Each structure stands twice: as structure tokens, then as C-alpha cells.
Structure 1
Amino acid sequence: MIRFSDVSLEKNGHVILRGINLSITERRVGIIGRNGSGKSSFARLFNGIEKPSRGEVRFEDATGSGELRRHVGFVFQNPDNQIVYPIVTEDLAFGLKNLKLPKSEINHRIDQVLERLAIGHLRDRLTHELSGGEKQLVALAGVLVMQPRMIVFDEPTTLLDLWNKQRLMSTLAELDQPIVVVSHDLELLADFDRILHVENGDIIDDGQPGPVIAGYVDRSKC
């Protein structure tokens, strides 16, 4: 469970989010809202990329940026912002080496994740030569090798064509970890367990996908 207790976020005197109080225990949670609503900033609070100006974010007994990052993985909208090394396996090993794991454990984790995502054929590929869909899966693999207990995705389908979008949707459905997904793609979120609608820094609706998404669509009409 992750809990937000009276969480607010301000930047340069501008209020981004205000007074968020909620707990998340569901396996698949979506976050929707217009551009500039604060939804991406909200997502980045989950694993400490953003730090609250006030209040506390707690994952079970963990709090603070360093502790949150050990438990909550984050997949960026653009995988180029996440992939660092030129060879796929080098990139996947990067975070594991920082954990001071033995080489045998590093190789074992990489092999497991490549098999799990069915991308073993990419292990020795140059990352800059990968397609958008392949990069998104490698970015996800880089999170999974760290064995997080929750994963947050920021607009994961934005850069994908239809085939890669369907592949990613299937992958998300099969993940063991609870996921939180920020997305404008309402189809992607239609069968999730819970949807949070963020507007002007507040969570204005929270519940089952059907009514929350319908309310969002109604508010978006000109």
C-alpha cells in the first residue's frame, strides 16, 4: 500500500498539487487529466522523483526519496530519457551494479527479465538502433531487473504504433507488481481497478473507470 498524507507540491511559488490524502491498494490504477493538471507531477511523487513541499508519501514503512525508489519503479514517457548505455545488456546491468550485486546474480536477473518480456533477441543490440516499441520494453526491463514492488508509468503508449501499444497493454496486464499508469489513452485504462482524475492540482474524482472516465469526457467537451 502507498499512502499520501496531506501532500502538496509547489514550484517557484506556483501550486502544482494541493492537500492530497489517499491510499492505494488496488493492483491497477490509472491517472487521467488535462495537460498541465498536475497528473505527471503527482505520478513522480510515488517514487521520490518529486518531493512534496508539504505532507508525506509512504510506501508501507518506507518514506523519503531514497527509500521510495527502492520499492517503486518509474517508466518514463520517452524511453530515451531512461536508457543510458549503448548495449541493451549494459543498460540493464547499470542499476544492478550500483547495488553491488555479484556478477552471477546480475546475469541471472537480466536473463529472467529478457525471457519474461520475450526480448532476449535484443540483448546485444545497440539501444539507439531499437524501434520505439523495443525501447519501451527495454526501459521496462531496466525497471524490472531492480525488482520493485510497484511500477509507475507516465504516458507509456504515446510514442507507440497500434501493434506496439497492444503488446505493451498485454505486458502490463501480466505484470506481478501493482501498477499506476498516467495516460490520455482512455482505452488503456478502461478495465483498470481504479481511476483518479486530476484537475488544477486536485483529485476531483476517484473510483471505478466507467463513471470517472465518463465524467472526465463530459468535462472535456467544449
Structure 2
Amino acid sequence: AWAARAVGELSQGQRQQVCLLALQISEPATLLLDEPFASLDLLSQARLAAQLDASDHQILVSTHLLEHVYDFERVLWLEQGRVRADGPGREVCEAYAENVRERAASERGRRA
């Protein structure tokens, strides 16, 4: 349905899908995606996640949206240039989320 439209006329989500398809067509060994879910509504995020899940490529994703990497085989939590955790997605994401909750509580305590 998008074939007749110029890329500039597509939504952000549609442009990102077209870009990913173009990359996949070139059959790279690895795709490195930096914040691919940024600026996407929930439906576009779901479409992109499904597209990534269906891919046969090795995919590296940099993201702050943890729900998209919970089921990843391996997730690295990077903090200030160092690996803070390395393991199954759910395990690393839960540790990161707990750390964020602790830091937020600490900041609230300092402001009170």
C-alpha cells in the first residue's frame, strides 16, 4: 500500500520499517539498531518488534524500552562505559529496573 508514496510521505514507523527491510535485503551478517523503537507509537513498536523477531539476522539493539528485550537470549546493561550485567534478557532487565527504582527512591529521600 505504500509503494506509490514517497518515503517522505510515510509515517516515522513506516519509514523505519522500510529502512529495516532495505537493510535485510542486503543480507548483512549483523544488524545494529540504535533506539529503533524511539518515536514510534505502540502499534508501530509492536510491528517493528515482530519484524525483528521474524528476522534470521543477528540483531544488536540499543534501547531504553526494556519490554522489547525481555525475551532476548542475551542483554548487556551498560553504565558509564562499563558492562554492569550480562545475561538473559528478563534477568538483566529486572536487575536494571530494580536499580532504577532504588536510585529514584534515593533521590526522593534526598529531596524530602
Normalised to the residue count of structure 1, the TM-score between the two structures is 0.44
Structure 2 distance, partners of 1:162, 1:168, is: 10
Deviation string 1:22-62 (CA, Å, 9 cap, x unpaired) is xxxxxxxxxxxxxxxxxxxxxxxxxxxxxxxxxxxxxxxxx
Q: How does 1:14-33 map to 2 (within 5 A)?
A: none
Structure 2 distance, partners of 1:210, 1:160, is: 23
Equivalent residue number for residue 153 of structure 1: 33
Deviation string 1:72-129 (CA, Å, 9 cap, x unpaired) is xxxxxxxxxxxxxxxxxxxxxxxxxxxxxxxxxxxxxxxxxxxxxxxxx323321111
Match of 1:174, as an amino acid? Answer: A
Q: Does 1:191 align with 2:71?
A: yes
Equivalent residue number for residue 99 of structure 2: 219
Cα displacement (A) at 1:180: 0.9
Deviation string 1:120-177 (CA, Å, 9 cap, x unpaired) is x323321111011110111112212221011111111111111111111111110011
Cα displacement (A) at 1:183: 0.9
By percentage of residues, which structure has more strand? 1
By percentage of residues, which structure has more helix? 2
**Percentage identity across paired residues of the two chains:** 33
Q: Which runs of 5+ in 1 are unaligned?
A: 1-120
Q: Does 1:169 align with 2:49?
A: yes
Equivalent residue number for residue 81 of structure 2: 201
SS in 2 for 1:153: strand
Q: Which runs of 5+ in 2 are unaligned?
A: 105-112
Normalised to the residue count of structure 2, the TM-score between the two structures is 0.84
SS in 2 for 1:170: helix
- Return structure 1 stretches of 4+ with deviation > 6 angstroms: none
Cα displacement (A) at 1:209: 1.6
Match of 1:144, as an amino acid? Answer: Q
SS in 2 for 1:173: helix
Q: Higher relative contact order at CA 8 Å, sep ≥6: structure 1 or structure 2? A: 1
Structure 1 distance, partners of 2:81, 2:67, is: 24
CA RMSD for the aligned pairs? 1.2
